[in-house]
Structure 1
Amino acid sequence: MARPIWTGTLSFGLLNVPIRLMTAERRIDLHFRMLDQRSNTPIRYERVNAESGDEVPWKDVVKAFEYSKGNYVVLDEKDIRSAASESHETVEIDTFVDAGSIAPTYFEKPYFLVPAKKAEKGYVLLRETLKKTKRVGIARVVIRTREYLAAVMPQDDALLMILLRYPQELVDAADYALPDKAASSYRITPRELAMAGDLIESMSGEWKPGDYRDEFRDKLRKVIEKRLKTKGVTTTVEEDEEHGEDATTNVVDFMALLKKSIDSKHRTPAKKAAGKKAAAKKSTAKKSAAKKSARKTPAKKSATRSKTRKAG
């Protein structure tokens, strides 16, 4: 059985539903390995220092941003995590929108939100309300080290969370030369429109995803099986699995929370330790400022060394 990517809560207003985040897609691509044709042995890719040519062990690999040609600022995992939202295990719904208002280009990757034990009531309450109102919840969620925008919507008995692309990640259709004039400008007659409509009507049917298969993959697999019977080479690939645990739950007075959320017009969960978090943020900001000031001198030295190497 698949393991959850993480366990946490689905939050809307003052209600929190313990959930498990489960993948909703199955990769069926055929993966290939690069081999040396002289001996049919796998080719290994190594991390090599660009100057010395020596292999670099993982423990010495760091992430850096190239802010100008040949100049880098090094970041550690704490720096990256500090940029993400504090709600690392919360699908936090900010607002609800009409289901048909999100353009298809925004949808990226699906996940199932599965209720934890004894959390079915809140889960079903949200699912059925979304069905009735034909709304979709727009949420923020952190998966690993990145914060995503997501849409929470009902699908049969499930709550589906689909990661969304940010507007900055999309290309504007206006960037391309598209036919934007009326149909008559392209000499399309009303008769042609009517005939095209009749054709579409004659070809229309119900959406049955089970009727479709990746024919290229099926044919390629047959080619692989045929090759295996002659002179093929087999290899074993191990995949890492992510672990998680069920979240604990408590009995919740949903009517009281719903009424309180509406009365106070809250859209985010109540923060019991808001004061503590604010103080912690100030403390973190001071420490971060101290670190930056401490790093300024080494950064200049690094830049000087870089220039010296280039001069040599």
Structure 2
Amino acid sequence: MARPIWTGTLSFGLLNVPIRLMSGERRNDIHFRMLDQRSNTPVRYERVNADTGEEVPWKDIVKAFEYQKGSYVVLEEEDIRNAASDAHETVEIDAFVDGADIAPAYYEKPYVLLPAKKAEKGYVLLRETLKKTGKVGIARVVIRTKEYLAAVMPQGNALMMNILRYQAEVVDADEYELPEKAAGDYRITSREMEMAKELIESMSGKWKPEAYHDEFRAKLRAAIEKRLKSKGVTTTVEEEERTPENATTNVVDFMALLKKSIGAKTRTPAIKEVATKKSAAKKAPAKTAPAKKTAAKKAPGNKAAARKAPARRRAS
């Protein structure tokens, strides 16, 4: 059974629904290892100091930002953690919008939200309300150390959470040279339009994702199977689930919380965001001395691999 990425809460208004965050995609890419064809030994990529040529251990590696060519400022892990929200295990919904208003280009990565034990009531309440209203919850969530924008929406019996791209990450199609004139200006006749419509109608049907397969992967996997002589072994480890403290369960008075959330009228994300920006602008940035210049990595010479692996391995 798949393990949750983390367990936490789905929050909207004063309601907190305990959830488990599960991956909503399955990557079927076939990965390859690079081998030295002379000995079928894996080729290793090492972290090498470009000045001395010596290998650098992980404990001595830090993250730095190159603010100008050849000049870096070193960041501590605490700086990166503090940049994200404190709510590391909360899907905090700030607003609800019409699902049709979100362009497909903004969707990036899907997740499935599962209710924790005894949290089905709040989960179903939100799911069914979103179905009836056609709304989508816009939320912020921290996954590992990075904060993301996300959309919470119903899909069948599930609540899905799709990571959204920020507007700055989406290329506006108008930046490209597009045919903007009317169809008649491109000598498209009404008969051609009618024939194109008939063709589309003749090819139309219901969306059946199971009817489509990655044919390239299937053929490549078949080629790999022909060369396999041994079988791999997989193991699974199950983790004990935990329910976050102060989480809403089925025994909570949802009606009272909903009335209190509506009466409080505290969900004003746009005003809150502007106030936060103004507050941040008043603070003078701390002066940080640039770190000592470090050179870019370069590949080592003919350094032999430390260990030898069998030439034939089973693809997972």
- Identify whether the pair has TM-score above 0.5, normalized to the shorter chain: yes
Deviation at 1:53, TM superposition (A): 0.6
- 1:31-81 per-residue CA deviation (whole Å, 9 max, x = no partner) reads 111111111111010000111110001111110001111111111110001
Report what 1:17 is aligned to. 17
Instruction: Please name the residue that 2:228 is paired with.
Output: 228
Matched, 1:245 2:260: no
Instruction: Determine the structure 2 residue equivalent to 1:78.
Output: 78
**Distance of 1:171 and 1:237 partners within structure 2:** 44
Are the equivalent residues in 2 in contact too, given 1:13–1:268 (CA < 8 A)?
A: no
**Considering only aligned residues, what root-mean-square deviation do their CA atoms show, in Å?**
2.7
Q: Secondary structure at the match of 1:72?
A: strand
The C-alpha deviation readout for 1:187-215, integer Å capped at 9, x for no partner, is 10111111100100011011111111111
- 1:257-289 Cα distance to aligned partner (Å, 9 max, x none): 1111111213289xxxxxxxxxxxxxxxx9xx9
Match of 1:11, as an amino acid? S
C-alpha distance in 1, partners of 2:116/2:266? Answer: 24
The count of corresponding residues between Structure 1 and Structure 2 is: 278
Counterpart-to-counterpart distance in 2, 1:243 and 1:42: 33
3-state SS, counterpart of residue 39 of structure 1: coil
CA deviation after TM superposition for structure 1 residue 124, in Å: 0.3
Residue in 1 that maps onto 2:266:
266
List, as ranges, runs of 4+ consecutive aligned residues in structure 1 with deviation greater than 4 Å: 234-244
Separation of aligned partners in 2, 1:98 and 1:165: 17
* Amino acid corresponding to residue 86 of structure 1 in structure 2: D
Match in the other structure for 2:200: 200
Percent identical residues:
71
Partner of 1:26: 26
Cα separation, 1, equivalents of 2:240 and 2:27: 21
CA distance in 2, matches of 1:156, 1:69: 51
2:184 paired residue number: 184
CA 1:219–1:103 in 2, change beyond 3 Å: closer, same or farther? Answer: same
Counterpart position of 1:87: 87
Relative to structure 1, is the Cα distance of residues 209 and 161 closer, same or farther in structure 2, using a 3 angstrom cutoff? same
Distance 1:237-1:49 versus aligned 2 partners, 3 A rule? farther
Letter paired with 2:2: A
The 5 Å alignment of 1:1-312 reads 1-228=1-228, 245-248=241-244, 249=247, 250=249, 251-267=251-267, 296=289, 299=290, 302=292
Could you tell me how far apart the structure 2 residues matched to 1:196 and 1:14 are?
52
Compute the TM-score of the two structures, normalised by the length of structure 1.
0.82
Local SS of the residue matching 2:32: coil
Give the Cα separation in 2 of the matches to 1:46 and 1:63: 17
Q: Which amino acid aligns with 1:135?
A: K
Q: Contact (CA 8 Å) 1:14, 1:268: kept in 2 or not?
A: no
Q: What residue ranges of structure 2 are gaps of 5+ in the alignment?
A: 270-282, 296-316
Q: Distance in 2 between matches of 1:135 and 1:218?
A: 39
Q: Distance in 2 between matches of 1:207 and 1:81?
A: 42
SS in 2 for 1:22: strand
User: What secondary structure does 2:217 align onto?
Assistant: helix
**What amino acid is aligned across from residue 260 of structure 2 in structure 1?**
K
The letter of the residue matching 1:26 is: R
For residue 164 of structure 1, report the CA deviation from its aligned partner: 0.4
SS at structure 2 position matched to 1:97: strand
- Partner in structure 2 of residue 272 of structure 1: none
Instruction: Check conservation: 1:7, 1:244, Cα contact below 8 A.
Output: no
How far 1:178 moved relative to its partner?
1.1
Report 1 or 2 for greater relative contact order, CA contacts < 8 Å, sequence distance ≥ 6.
Answer: 2
Query: How far is 1:235 from its partner?
Result: 9.7
Instruction: Say if 1:92 and 1:18 are closer, same or farther in 2 by CA, change over 3 A.
Output: same
- 3-state SS of the aligned residue for 1:247? coil
Gapped runs of 5+ residues in structure 1?
Answer: 270-285, 307-312
**How far 1:242 moved relative to its partner?**
9.9
